[in-house]
A and B are shown apart, each in its own frame.
Chain A
Amino acid sequence: MPDGADHRFALKLLAWITGIWFVGMALLFKAAALPPEASGTVIALFPIGTETTRAVTASAAAGAKLVSPSWFENVLVVADEAPGLAGRLKEHGALAVFANTSFGGFSFAGCIGARISGN
């Protein structure tokens, strides 16, 4: 029968996996972030806890037009063709700016999921 040591083993395994994942995601975020001079339609990531209205206001201050909100209040799809949009968004509080790739759908827990964003 599994005992306390086995549960600790499972927790350690979980900690290792999530730890490696966090490191990988940090590197991936860095690689995926757009350079400051980028423009066009982008995804702006604001700090967790930022309300949509504040994120929209900050984006507008950076000269960006709202394209669509997302499932997360702190993530917006915004657009502006003038060069330097990514840099301006970061100056106005965005943590990072990414190319606009839509979440067209995904599979989860063994099944094919439905469309999750109107991007």
Chain B
Amino acid sequence: MMPRPLGSKLVTPARVVIAGAIVSLISYGVRADFGLFQDPMLATRGWSRETFALALAIQNLMWGLGQPFAGAIADRYGAGRVLAGGALLYAAGIALGAVVEGSFALHLTLGVMTGLGLSGASMFIVLGAFGRLLPPERRAWASGIATAAGSLGQFLFAPIGQGFIAAWGWPVALVLLAAAALPIIPVAAALRSCSEPAVAQEQQQTLGAALREASAHRSYWLLIAGFFVCGFHLAFIQVHMPAYIAGFGLSPAVGAWAIGFVGLFNTVGAYAAGVLAGRRSKKNLLSAIYLGRALVIALFVLTPVTTLSVLAFSAAMGLLWLSTVPPTSGLVALMFGPRYMSMLFGVVFFSHQIGAFIGVWLGGWAYDAYGSYTLVWWISVGLGIASAALHWPIAERPAKLVAQGA
């Protein structure tokens, strides 16, 4: 497959895709393990749950805040350097988390350093590199593979982290996890080139001009608003779903299977979305995904909660989980080209993280206020419909053509 060379004998499209998949798998996989350390770290260090939770909240915030900047650096100096630097910072933050004793130091290492490292070593930098290194007809498919690999990584790394802790204790396990992030550095070499002809044509545009062009483009704002809903859905469901299920007296095993189903179907859904985004209208695909989410959530809320309904909901939501990423990143690349894609998609992702924050917070607030999640479930349905409507009018053409009225 994909025999076309990319200017270097070492950087072939197949190697680019494999490297991107490995980076996604590792960076998301390692991140999936942090929660496993909560109880053993609290028991040893005497921190409160709030202290640990704040470290992870800071990490998520720094990831979201750092993503546009990491993207801008990747756009300027190449994805390979940013991925390598991000992986180093990511690994250093994790490893130092094993030796810190104060809460401030924990927030600095596992929070700030790891979050910023993650923004440099994330799938979104990989997607930008795909935009520059792969032919247009392969980009959506490749982004589907990278997204699916990220989902798979989170699934595969959970027992690895647990095994590390069981075998060697949590401090050594953290250092081992840090070491597990380091292979990103050599692998990133396959993603270092930024000399594609398509990029060369756009070299004249400055970063500021790219930001001005994007901020004046209505469809970009629609995309940002739509991706906010993705974050809201994912975070609300992931954090509050176990408590919701438990409230109906179902066995905790149902929760485990539900998460397994989300992970399995998420991998399938992300890949399928990548394939479909290369063949069909990306904005229509996004409208369908968000409408599908609204429908699935509404059905789940309206039907009695049973083991079957939970598993069916998990499978359906899994298919729609990260399937938004390939068409969303594909639209950014289509609108503005690959030159500043990492930065511009980073801005879109920041909106996702804000949505995630509000989804988690609103779920907790609504439960405390009303004793149920019903209100937020219905808000999720409404937001799904709104997001489908927001994506519908997106102009699926390069922004320059839209500005010229073509």
A joins B in a complex: yes
Give A residues with C-beta under 8 Å from B: 1-2, 5-10, 13-14, 17-18, 21, 24-25, 28-29, 31-32, 43, 70-73, 98-99, 101-118
Binds A, one of B100-108, B235-243, B339-347: B235-243
Asked if residues A104 and B255 are in contact (CB atoms below 8 Å), the reply is no
Q: Which residues of B contact A17 (CB under 8 A)?
A: 21, 25, 149, 152, 156
B226-245 interface bits toward A, Cβ cutoff 8 Å, 1 = contact, 0 = none: 00000000110011111100
Residue contacts A-B, CB under 8 angstroms, 27 given: A1-B278, A2-B278, A8-B1, A21-B160, A24-B160, A28-B163, A28-B167, A32-B166, A71-B252, A101-B40, A101-B166, A105-B36, A106-B34, A107-B56, A108-B238, A108-B263, A109-B266, A110-B322, A111-B356, A112-B238, A114-B241, A114-B242, A114-B243, A115-B242, A116-B242, A116-B255, A116-B256
In the complex, chain B residues 3-40 whose Cβ is within 8 Å of any chain A Cβ: 14, 17-18, 21, 25, 28, 31-40
A105 to B356, CA, bound (A): 17
Choose among B14, B159, B167, B256 the residue that contacts A9 (Cβ–Cβ < 8 A). B14
Binds A, one of B90-98, B137-145, B390-398: B137-145
Extra A-B contacts (18), CB below 8 Å, given A28-B159, A102-B40 = A2-B278, A9-B17, A13-B18, A13-B145, A17-B21, A25-B163, A28-B160, A28-B163, A71-B253, A71-B256, A101-B36, A105-B38, A106-B35, A110-B28, A112-B35, A112-B360, A113-B239, A117-B252
A15 to B154, CA, bound (A): 17
B373 at the interface (CB under 8 A from A): no
- Give the Cβ gap from B3 to chain A, nearest Cβ, in Å: 11
Q: Which residues of B contact A104 (CB under 8 A)?
A: 35-40, 42
Query: At the interface, is chain A mostly helix, strand, loop or mixed?
Result: mixed
Of all chain B residues, the one with the shortest Cβ separation from A25 is B159
CB-CB under 8 A for A2 and B263, given A103-B36, A106-B33, A116-B255: no
Q: Which residues of A contact B151 (CB under 8 A)?
A: 109
Give B residues with C-beta under 8 Å from A: 1-2, 14, 17-18, 21, 25, 28, 31-40, 42, 53, 56-57, 60, 137-138, 141, 145, 148-149, 151-152, 154, 156, 158-160, 162-168, 170, 234-235, 238-243, 252-253, 255-256, 259, 262-263, 266, 271, 275, 278-279, 321-322, 356, 360
A26 to B83, CA, bound (A): 30
Asked if residues A2 and B138 are in contact (CB atoms below 8 Å), the reply is yes
Q: Which residues of B contact A43 (CB under 8 A)?
A: 166
Report, nearest first, the 10 A-B pairs whose CB atoms are least far apart: A71-B256, A106-B35, A104-B39, A32-B167, A104-B38, A28-B163, A111-B238, A105-B35, A32-B166, A2-B141
A107 to B36, CA, bound (A): 9
Q: Which residues of A contact B31 (CB under 8 A)?
A: 107
A73 to B240, CA, bound (A): 24
Which has the most chain A C-beta neighbours within 10 Å: B1, B34, B235, B243? B1
A42 to B240, CA, bound (A): 29
Query: At the interface, is chain B mostly helix, strand, loop or mixed?
Result: helix
A73 to B168, CA, bound (A): 26
- Give the Cβ gap from B165 to chain A, nearest Cβ, in Å: 5
Asked if residues A9 and B239 are in contact (CB atoms below 8 Å), the reply is no
Q: Which residues of B contact A113 (CB under 8 A)?
A: 35, 238-239, 242, 259
Choose among B149, B252, B271 the residue that contacts A118 (Cβ–Cβ < 8 A). B252
Choose among A14, A70, A109 the residue that contacts B322 (Cβ–Cβ < 8 A). A109
A104 to B158, CA, bound (A): 12
A114 to B244, CA, bound (A): 11
- Give the Cβ gap from A44 to chain B, nearest Cβ, in Å: 13
Which has the most chain A C-beta neighbours within 10 Å: B38, B151, B166? B166
